[in-house]
């Protein structure tokens, strides 16, 4: 998922270019390819959630809706379409809509494909830009759609919100990277049930920090996300951390997959007059008024 904090992070991304695909089948194929080289237990597979493992049934409350409303916070024109007056209000509204909304896999076969990866022995978990406050609704929809990320999650669950970018964690970054990744003012995260809720922070940094916290290293990492900038940031962070010295035993084979199954729907929403979503907003406001 793409939260607004990431829009503000203009960094110099580099590393292996992502594979672009509208089908999850390529994830399975890449995992099998890397397993032949390193063994399945050494191939970590990381999935985004919004518009990757799950997509909203309705546009109201979706990833594309959030991005639209975030941009409107910085555009004083046409206040009639503003559903929040601040970032804090927008995040509260988003959590409320998560709690009320239903979701589905972009491809009906994705839960089975994820289960295949798990059965093959791959460590698999989800790294989402959602914050800890959305955990209950996130876990509900993950389970309802027949994903079980607990079985192959890395490390152990940390149910309470905590600071992943603490003093010990930051030791793996240079002072320049701490600034670049915006870790000098970290926000609380949570990790449980195979889901890392990163609160819109740099996904590459979050991945490195959770691996460092559990003392884990993998020969290959496959990252699947519907936003190319998240793919680039993961590739960059892994590249800078592991593949820039002479110790080949530290090298990580990095594959990022830009998943585009929901892209036509996102583009259609962006080009629409938003009338359906505005009507849903009015109904939501009326519903809350009568609570």
One digit per residue, the tens of pLDDT, for the chain of length 291 reads: 444 444 434 344 566 899 999 999 999 999 999 999 999 999 999 999 999 999 999 999 999 999 999 999 888 777 779 999 998 899 899 999 999 999 999 999 999 999 999 999 999 999 999 999 999 999 999 999 999 999 999 999 987 789 999 989 999 999 999 999 999 999 999 999 999 999 999 999 999 999 999 999 999 999 999 999 999 999 999 999 987 665 566 799 999 999 999 999 999 999 999 999 999 999 999 998 887
CATH number for the domain harbouring residue 155: 3.40.50
pLDDT in tens, 248-279: 667 999 999 999 999 999 999 999 999 999 99
93 and 147 assigned to the same domain: no
192 and 93 assigned to the same domain: no
Query: Containing domain of residue 138, as a range?
Result: 4-56+107-260
pTM of the model: 0.90
23 and 94 assigned to the same domain: no
For residues 188-204, b (16+ Cβ closer than 10 Å) or e, as one string?
A: bbbbbbbbbbbbbbbbb
66 and 87 assigned to the same domain: yes
79 and 156 assigned to the same domain: no
74 and 135 assigned to the same domain: no
17 and 118 assigned to the same domain: yes
18 and 73 assigned to the same domain: no
174 and 231 assigned to the same domain: yes
187 and 250 assigned to the same domain: yes
For the chain, what is the domain count?
Answer: 2
Rounded to 5 degrees, what angle do the CA atoms 228, 229, 231 make?
Answer: 65
210 and 223 assigned to the same domain: yes
134 and 216 assigned to the same domain: yes
């Amino acid at each position: 998922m793409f939260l607004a904090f990431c829009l503000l992070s203009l960094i110099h991304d580099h590393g292996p270019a992502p594979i672009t695909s509208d089908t999850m089948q390529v994830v399975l194929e890449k995992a099998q390819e890397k397993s032949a080289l390193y063994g399945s237990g050494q191939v970590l597979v990381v999935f985004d959630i919004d518009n990757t493992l799950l997509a909203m049934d309705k546009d109201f409350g979706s990833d594309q809706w959030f991005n639209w409303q975030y941009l409107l916070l910085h555009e004083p024109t046409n206040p009639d379409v503003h559903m929040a007056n601040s970032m804090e209000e927008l995040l509260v509204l988003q959590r409320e809509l998560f709690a009320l909304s239903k979701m589905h896999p972009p491809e009906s076969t994705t839960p089975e494909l994820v289960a295949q990866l798990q059965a093959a022995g791959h460590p698999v978990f989800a790294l989402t830009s959602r914050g800890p406050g959305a955990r209950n609704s996130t876990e509900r929809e993950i389970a309802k759609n027949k994903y079980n990320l607990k079985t192959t999650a890395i490390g152990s669950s940390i149910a309470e919100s905590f600071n992943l970018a603490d003093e010990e964690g930051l030791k793996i970054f240079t002072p320049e990277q701490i600034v670049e990744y915006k870790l000098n003012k970290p926000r609380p995260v949570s990790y449980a049930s195979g889901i890392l809720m990163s609160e819109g922070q740099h996904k590459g940094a979050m991945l490195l920090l959770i691996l460092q916290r559990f003392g884990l290293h993998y020969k290959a990492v496959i990252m699947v996300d519907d936003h190319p900038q998240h793919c680039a940031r993961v590739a960059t962070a892994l590249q800078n951390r592991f593949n820039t010295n002479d110790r080949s035993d530290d090298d990580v084979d990095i594959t990022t997959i830009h998943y585009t199954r929901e892209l036509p729907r996102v583009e259609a929403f962006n080009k629409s007059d938003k009338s359906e979503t505005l009507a849903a907003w009015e109904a939501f406001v009326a519903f809350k008024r009568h609570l």
